Amino acid sequence: MERRSNNKKLTYILTAVVVILICALCAAVFFFVKMKNSNTLYKEAQLAASQYNYSKAIDILKSDTGKSLIYNQTIEEYTQKMNELELKEPSQTPHIFFHSLICDTQLAFDGDEDAAGYNLYMTTIDEFKEILEQLYKNNYVLVSPHDLYVETENGFIPNEILLPAEKRPIVISQDDVNYYSYMKNDGFASRFVIDKGKVRCEYIDQDGTVSVGAYDVVPILDDFVEKHPDFSYHGAKAVIAVTGFEGAFGYHNVIDQNSPEYSEECDTVRKIAETLKSSGYDLASHTYGHIPCGTSEIETLRNDTKDWSEQIGSLIGGTDILIYPYGEDLTSDVYYDAYEDTPKFEILYNAGFRYYLNVDSSHDAWMQTGTRYFRGARRNIDGYRMSHNGDEMSDLFYDLSKIYDNRRPSVGDLN
């Protein structure tokens, strides 16, 4: 009888120990998960603060109620820094742009029929990397066109860009991110791919070897911002513009419904577009056929806009940014009061475009707004500009000689 009683007590004790151990394990798991979530939130807050979005950083920290006391000092620090930010004048923001970057100068400058054009209008990878370094050291910070002016029911008005006193905003864009057929075997990337959740570039070497890496503006800029998050305002990076007559992002079959690769390539382009936008990029139309919008007939513009919207815009999720091919605006007038009262403007406006970007390197920065539009000028940074108008870029770079790639042939006049 006594032995049975002792066994019963032992069972109770063992059960209690097991229950205690299970509870302790659950508490440990709960604590571990909570700590992991707290660390994740803290890193998110740090990133937001490094990109001058202090209000977001503070909200993230306040959402972690379990560590509110520990975070109080950080919240006070962020609040102080937020109060020290200065409102920047958006109209003084320069906008620079590039085309596809040259990966292999020997292939690009091989003397064939395209070599001269590459030398005039393209930039090498080494040049672009040094450009980013000098912009960063000159206290420039990347912003989106949407950060400059915002559409309201009363028209476009200046947006609030709040940065430290020494910082100044800049916009970067890239044209023709299509990886055209004519560029094959000329030392350029061949297309965008998604690698480990990021947009990278595929490059095919002379011997046919395929590699994936930082072979163009997007992946190079991604890597730079990852290293220097304070180079980006609220996560903004660049505007990526595509035409349509050879698809988008290097996927040429998205405009051919009879191609066996059509469906797969359309899905890939959608995923790339989504990844770009979630990574801080704006997408833009460069028209379907790379047409000169100012001198083209109205019906040509109408049909081209329809083709781009249906075949490309539908894949990338649409856009309100139009980058004019050849930099050719609807009018050559610098300030044109009737800009939004023309038939061509109505075609573009009805297609959803609100931001219209041309090319004009005669100003450090230029923009105009109306009731229904934002109009801005961009400055090309390429072989011709660097060799002929280097003195006009002193506001951007402190040593152009460190940027200019000496592997370039001498650049002649455009004529």
- The distance of Cα 45 from the centroid of its chain, to the nearest Å, equals 21
Residues 6+ apart with CB under 8 A from 52: 85, 141, 162, 163, 164, 230, 233, 234
Give pLDDT, residue 69.
Answer: 58
What's 325's DSSP letter? Answer: G
Instruction: Give the Cα separation of 250 and 189 in Å (integer).
Output: 9
Task: Choose among 140, 66, 93, 99: nearest CA to 398.
Answer: 140
pTM of the model: 0.90
* Class for the domain spanning 92-403: alpha beta
Give pLDDT, residue 163.
Answer: 98
Residue 281 phi/psi, 5° resolution?
A: -100, 145
Label residue 270 exposed, middle or buried (CB < 10 Å: 0-12, 13-18, 19+).
middle
Rounded-to-5 percentages of helix, strand, coil across the chain: 45, 20, 35
Instruction: Give the Cα separation of 52 and 93 in Å (integer).
Output: 17
Residues 6+ apart with CB under 8 A from 29: none
Quick check: 378 and 357 in contact, CB under 8 A? Answer: yes
Residues 6+ apart with CB under 8 A from 35: none
Give pLDDT, residue 40.
Answer: 85
Quick check: 161 and 147 in contact, CB under 8 A? Answer: yes
Quick check: 98 and 176 in contact, CB under 8 A? Answer: no
Give pLDDT, residue 31.
Answer: 42
pLDDT tens for the 415 residues of the chain, in order: 555 555 566 666 666 555 666 655 554 444 433 444 458 889 999 999 999 999 999 999 998 766 665 788 899 999 999 999 999 999 999 999 999 999 999 999 999 999 999 999 999 999 999 999 999 999 999 999 999 999 999 999 999 999 999 999 999 999 999 999 999 999 999 999 999 999 999 999 989 999 999 999 999 999 999 999 999 999 999 999 999 999 999 999 999 999 999 999 999 999 999 999 999 999 999 999 999 999 999 999 999 999 999 999 999 999 999 999 999 999 887 777 789 999 999 999 999 999 999 999 999 999 999 999 999 999 999 999 999 999 999 999 999 999 999 999 986 543 3
